[in-house]
Amino acid sequence: MKKDFLTLRDYDSDTLKKLVQLAIKMKKERLTFGRDILKNKTVALIFEKSSTRTRVSFEVGVYDMGGYPLFLSKNDIQLGRGETIEDTARTLSRYVDMIMIRTFEHSKVEKLAKYSSVPVINGLTDDFHPCQVMADIMTVYEKFGTYDLKLAYVGDGNNMAHSLMIGCSKFGIDFSIATPKGYEPKFEVLNYAMDVARKNGKTIHFNNDPYEAVRGADIIYTDVWTSMGQEAENEIRLKAFQGYQVDMELLKATGKKTYFMHCLPAHRGEEVSDDVIESEFSIVFDEAENRLHAQKAIMAYLIKNGEFGGLL
């Protein structure tokens, strides 16, 4: 059975921790380890939304492991002209060894995975961004050397919030989130993460007060107020999110040294102030760098049908 990487929900804590270990090894031994894991293999990278980090880190990651990446923007393939995702999946499966897709509805990624005979990786949907969170948690582990931490998320209850809360619950990181009313994460995701966190002896808190959420946090995370596909709501969102900017006052309100994280791209002056993202506490480019290593670990694991044999 081929394995996919669609959401962190599909993975147990032990496997996710091993993937982080593998990502750290990929990073440390970049020039010598895993150079032929994708030898003679091709990976299709489908983008229905813009990207800098995801596109470049996947292309470089495939190249690093000896494979050939195919960048397929929606404007270039028939998917953009109405060919179905089912037909796209079955066609691409006849040519390539793995598919990464960035798209809108999460159900589209699920359908692609269902109809594809090769592994499918979610490179961001409206609901989830699991590759980003693997890179983020790898970054946190590099900084602290433990998962026994608290991460506070301030802002929109969006794809990043969803994947972060699932990721934190699986890795045993306490998680709290503050969103404006009406912009809460999906309750089904929240309930799932709360359940996993409880089993791991950890907590997930949510409310509408950023100062309450960040108390005691080791990390404050935020993301844009208007995600890709929501551009028409920009003005309403700008108003709704007033008071939710991560600025120096909020960063200092944790009562301890706190790192600032953001998946990027950032809208400075909206969800984060310039001085915070430029400060010594900001680790946003470490996160961006780790996309490469985390995704190489994911691709290596998937191409070996979900086995770590010979990798760790």
Binding-site positions: 51-54, 78, 102, 129-132, 159, 223, 227-228, 263-264, 291
> Looking at 16, 134, 263, 284, which residue binds ligand CP (CB under 6 A)?
263
Q: Pick from 130, 94, 107, 112: which is nearest to 46 by CA?
A: 112
* Cα torsion angle, 251, 255, 259, 261, sign: negative
Closer residue to ligand CP in complex, CB, 4/287: 287
Instruction: Please identify, among the stretches 32-40, 144-152, 201-209, 222-230, the one whose residues bind ligand NVA according to the rule CB under 6 A.
Output: 222-230
**What is the smallest separation between the CB atom of 58 and ligand NVA, expressed in angstroms?**
14
> Looking at 37, 38, 65, 124, which residue binds ligand CP (CB under 6 A)?
124
Residues of each annotated binding site for carbamoyl phosphate: 51-54, 78, 102, 129-132, 263-264, 291
Instruction: Please identify, among the stretches 45-53, 67-75, 162-170, 175-183, the one whose residues bind ligand CP according to the rule CB under 6 A.
Output: 45-53
Is the preceding peptide bond at 185 cis, omega within 30 degrees of 0? no
Question: Does residue 84 touch ligand CP according to CB under 6 A?
Answer: no
Q: What is the C-alpha to C-alpha distance for residues 269 and 281, in angstroms, rounded to an integer? A: 17
The answer to whether residue 76 is catalytic is no
Q: Which residues are catalytic?
A: 102, 129, 132, 223, 263, 291
